[in-house]
Amino acid sequence: MHTVTLIGSNRTLNVGKIVCLGRNYLDHIRELNNEVPDAPVIFCKPASSLLENNGKILIPAYSDDCHHELELALLIGEKGKQIPEADANNYICGYAVALDLTLRDVQARQKEKGLPWEIAKGFDTSCPLSRFVCADQINDPDNLRLSLKVNGQLRQQGNTNMMMRSVARIVSEISGFYTLEEGDIILTGTPAGVGPIVSGDLLEGEIEQVGQLRVSVA
């Protein structure tokens, strides 16, 4: 069983599903020449994909092109289905810095064949995650600067105010497809600047008020 703990509380949650939103920042959609979606683009990672702070990323042998995607992660604190957008923030108990690691070559092959992407997105260590801070420590989740450095060089920089879907809308829409349960995690999409990582790289992600994530590639 995978668990996460909220900083500053004694609360430990068992991780359920990890639901990820794709194509939520216009600048990232443009850099990959994707279409702007009408409906949310959603996929899941298994809990076995989690990697703790200071962990080592293991790029699978079936890929030569693993990309970083820096994202704000939400932790769901209580069960809900078809949650109205106006109530959605009450279901979030924590925020963390996450990476949605993606095997871009495998994903491209799967897309071309019209097949699911899971093997490009859900491999072991594909979801590095910082510790979660309590939601009440965050003033406005829709206005947080985020940045990622690889080996000290800035690769991704943005603000959650650039997201096409707000945090509340994301929770509301996902809860229309899946019942959200305590311990579920949601990844909210990545800004522009995604790129490859290779063995020995050090990745340092930071989100204002939320914290830092530091992992390296084995």
Interface ranges with Mg ion (CB under 5 A): 69, 100, 190
> Looking at beta carbons only, is 21 or 76 nearer to Mg ion?
21
Whether the CB-CB separation of 122 and 206 falls below 8 Å is answered with: no
- Rounded distance, CA 102 to CA 10, Å? 33
- Best CA proximity match to 45, nearest among 109, 101, 108, 112: 101
- Best CA proximity match to 146, nearest among 74, 92, 72, 54: 72
Both structure tokens of 109? 């092959």
Least gap, CB of 167 to Mg ion (angstroms): 15
Whether the CB-CB separation of 132 and 5 falls below 8 Å is answered with: yes
Least gap, CB of 189 to Mg ion (angstroms): 6
List all residues 6 or more positions away from 110 whose beta carbon is below 8 Å from its beta carbon: 116, 117, 119, 120
> Looking at beta carbons only, is 100 or 173 nearer to Mg ion?
100
> Looking at beta carbons only, is 118 or 182 nearer to Mg ion?
118
> Looking at beta carbons only, is 156 or 190 nearer to Mg ion?
190
Least gap, CB of 146 to Mg ion (angstroms): 13
> Looking at beta carbons only, is 166 or 190 nearer to Mg ion?
190
Output the residue with the shortest Cβ distance to Mg ion: 100
- In whole angstroms, what separates CA 191 from the centre of its chain? 11
Least gap, CB of 44 to Mg ion (angstroms): 12
List all residues 6 or more positions away from 173 whose beta carbon is below 8 Å from its beta carbon: 40, 165
